[in-house]
Structure 1
């Protein structure tokens, strides 16, 4: 995915969302009912007037039952990613997520780089049924909470879990933690 300006990225997300909605022959109202995101917000996203937060993008992806990268990346045969790619930010600005790749092999696989800000927490809602997350800490230390259980991960530690339940990423340190996410979706 070539690096584009934030405005162009916002417009790209809107263009992809509109295309997906039209392919499914849905109205904005039907999409709003399906995703839990207001019709007004969806319209602004489609027109490129609103930069959606990570939470909003997850709600849309879960409602449409697609990987989030389907909204963030236009499909290409060859994709070269430079280290400072496009990103989406969580509402509380605790987590910045950069889509990396999406692949289809008996389901969909996507990967992301995540940057969890110092002394912050990112709480994720349950994803669509069957989604599995594989997380590796590339820099720093992170606590991953899955349901009621907490797991302490240090540099190069990994965890796999069913992401169709609430989960959270917690950075207690004073420096940004870098995470590698792989999401597997069943079709």
Structure 2
């Protein structure tokens, strides 16, 4: 994604965040108290002056009780999602990168391509209450830990679990692991 495209996404996230916050009739201070993200940082995000981390976006979406991808919502009604093109969000020094798939499908499901770099791990924030995460390994082999239980998944293996508890992804190999992830939110989250 080019610099101009990236800046446009940052501005779009800011505008959507401001709209969602105002719909709830919250001040920046209100959202800061609920989310744990500083008022200054929230203001910078809303003005498109900072690139928020994935962890911050999870905290904000959880506090607003909206799916993560709602922060990236656009008005387009037709979407084409090509791997490696469009929006990507990196976390943990680029060890974990997600690409949203069909951002505007519904408020109850979100789909991502996720890339876990060789010999790295990712420990996401707990998701919204009663959220289910479904992950399918598209290439590679990954260890997924869910509430102190470990599962090894090979190519095309899938797992489903409650994502509002602790979970992590570990790649002990020398190859990038590619995953297809669906987050299923409860109705009226």
TM over 0.5: yes
| CA offset digits 1:94-149 (Å, max 9, x no partner) | 21111112533xx7011011111111111012212110000001011111000100
Other-structure match for 2:171: 171
What is the aligned-residue RMSD (CA, Å)?
1.6
Instruction: Give the secondary structure class of the aligned counterpart of 2:150.
Output: strand
Q: After superposition, what is the alpha-carbon deviation per residue over 1:38-93, rounded to whole angstroms, capped at 9, x for unaligned? A: 11111111111111111111111111111111012324321222321211111443
**Aligned equivalent of 1:158:** 158
Match of 2:117 in 1: 117
The DSSP-based 3-state class of the residue aligned with 1:134 is: strand
Does residue 88 of structure 2 align to residue 87 of structure 1? yes
Q: Which runs of 4+ in 1 moved over 3 A?
A: none
TM-score (norm 2): 0.91
Q: Between Structure 1 and Structure 2, which shows a larger proportion of strand residues? A: 1
Aligned-partner SS, 2:123? strand
1:103 and 2:105 matched: yes
What is aligned with 1:61? 61
> How many residues are paired up?
183
Equivalent residue number for residue 32 of structure 1: 32
The answer to whether the 8 A contact 2:92-2:122 is kept is no
Are residues 75 and 161 of structure 1, via their aligned partners in 2, closer, same or farther at CA, if it must alter by over 3 Å? farther
Q: Partner of 1:139 in structure 2?
A: 139
Q: Is 1:49 aligned to 2:88, yes or no?
A: no
Partners of 1:143 and 1:168 in 2: how far apart? 8
Contact kept? 1:87, 1:96, Cα under 8 Å: yes
CA distance in 2, matches of 1:172, 1:73: 35
Structure 2: tracts of 5 or more residues without a match: none
Deviates more, 1:161-170 or 1:90-99: 90-99
Please say if residues 122 and 168 of structure 1, whose CA atoms lie closer than 8 Å, have aligned partners that are also in contact.
Answer: yes
